[in-house]
């Protein structure tokens, strides 16, 4: 009978026992981690949909898009109204303003041409109440001498510094003004070339609205960019902001709390793994899964940081007070023009900051 010496066997040390005991947590985490991640994602998705209510934001933006960002490839005739996406030259800008933009924004009559109630004046697509004012900004490239080294420079006279365009003083149009009054203003600036000229690089039109049916603020930014080659590029952007951060859902706060708990749990679980590796003097390997985990954590944290900032901005009493003051029938724009402009500027600046 053969006997083996004890030296031929691996001796189990105390260190091995300790490592085996401590590895129980790692073994358990293999099964618990996927479950934690799934629950984390589920609760975060629920909280995010409460704070960013797509089901109400979509119909609001869809209505504004149909009214302001008009487009179409139908056959153009002499009676066709200029659409935003069909603007191809400077000559198309004012027909769009006068025939499409003004009738959509400065609404004072219904489809029967009957005057609508005062509280419904200035509504886009019947439900989008314009708040503050319609802001129009023009950017102009200063004139500069043409490149004298060019052989044909004498026939071009003056050029423009497109890289250093300057913003002119913005115009603020009162949404309660009659449409004809706004049309007359556009006709005047058209005749004077004070809004659109060969030196223009861009026009920015900002419209802030409130939808009481959906309890949403929205900022619509329309941009008309004039390129030095003559091409006109039209762009639009819409950003909606719910006034109630929880959308009248009392469970929203609970979802945030549970999401925060899972956030801390996920951080703690991965930190324990890193600490265990360092204690065992093992290299901490940043696998693809670990990188995805921490990038997801950073995304969740970023979402809540911006959401908190937006909630604070929306809840500011000054913004609400200025909007309500502007809508007060007793507010006389003609005798309080300076104050109205201050309110217009502040409301639009706050809305654009939120957007």
Tokens linked to 42: 């589920």
Neighbours of 311 (CB within 10 A): 17
Averaged confidence pLDDT in the chain: 82
Tokens linked to 343: 């309110």
pLDDT tens-digit series, residues 21-58: 555 556 556 667 778 888 888 989 888 888 888 888 88
pLDDT tens-digit series, residues 315-345: 777 777 777 877 777 677 767 777 777 877 7
270 vs 263, 266, 285, 340, CA distance in Å? 11, 6, 12, 55
At residue 312, the 3 state secondary structure works out as helix
Residue 113 or 272, more confident: 113
The full set of domain ranges for the chain reads 15-53+248-315, 54-246+321-354
Tokens linked to 246: 């929880």
pLDDT tens-digit series, residues 180-206: 999 999 999 999 988 998 899 999 999
pLDDT tens-digit series, residues 260-294: 998 998 888 877 777 776 766 666 667 787 788 88
Q: What percent of the chain has pLDDT over 70?
A: 82
Q: What is the DSSP string of 128-147?
A: EEE-S-EEEEEEEPPEEE--
Residue 284 or 208, more confident: 208
Residues 242 and 215: beta-carbon distance below 8 Å: yes
Residue 92 or 345, more confident: 92
CA 186, 192, 194, 195 dihedral sign is positive
Residue 116 or 325, more confident: 116
What average pLDDT does the segment 69-73 reach? 78
What average pLDDT does the segment 103-125 reach? 86
């Amino acid at each position: 009978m053969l006997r083996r010496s004890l030296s031929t066997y691996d001796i189990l040390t105390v260190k091995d026992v300790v490592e085996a005991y401590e590895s129980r947590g790692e073994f358990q985490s293999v099964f618990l981690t996927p479950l934690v991640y799934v629950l984390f994602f589920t609760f975060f998705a629920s909280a995010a949909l409460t704070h960013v209510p797509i089901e109400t934001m979509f119909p609001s933006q869809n209505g504004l898009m149909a009214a302001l960002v008009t487009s179409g490839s139908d056959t153009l005739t002499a009676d066709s109204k200029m659409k935003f996406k069909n603007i191809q030259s400077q000559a198309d800008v004012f027909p769009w303003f006068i025939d499409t933009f003004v009738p959509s924004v400065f609404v004072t009559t219904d489809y029967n041409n009957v005057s609508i109630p005062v509280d419904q004046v200035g509504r886009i697509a019947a439900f989008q109440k314009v708040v503050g004012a319609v802001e129009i900004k023009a950017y102009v490239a200063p004139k500069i001498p043409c490149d004298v080294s060019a052989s044909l420079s004498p026939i071009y006279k003056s050029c423009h510094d497109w890289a250093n365009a300057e913003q002119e003083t913005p115009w603020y149009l009162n949404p309660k003004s009659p449409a004809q009054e706004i049309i007359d203003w556009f006709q005047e600036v058209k005749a004077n070339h004070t809004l659109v000229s060969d030196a223009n690089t861009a026009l920015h039109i900002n419209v802030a609205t409130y939808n009481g049916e959906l309890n949403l603020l929205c900022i619509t930014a329309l941009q008309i960019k004039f390129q030095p080659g003559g091409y006109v590029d039209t762009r639009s952007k819409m950003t909606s902001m719910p006034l109630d951060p929880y959308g009248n859902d009392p469970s929203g706060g609970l979802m945030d709390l549970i999401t925060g708990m899972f956030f801390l749990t996920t951080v703690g679980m991965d930190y324990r793994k890193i600490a265990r590796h360092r204690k065992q003097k093992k290299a901490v390997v940043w696998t693809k899964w670990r990188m995805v985990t921490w990038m997801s954590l950073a995304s969740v944290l970023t979402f809540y940081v911006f959401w908190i900032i937006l909630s604070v901005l929306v809840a500011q009493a000054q913004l609400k007070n200025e909007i309500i003051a502007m809508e007060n029938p007793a507010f006389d724009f003609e005798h309080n023009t300076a104050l109205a402009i201050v309110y217009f500027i502040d409301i639009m600046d706050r809305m654009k900051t939120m957007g």
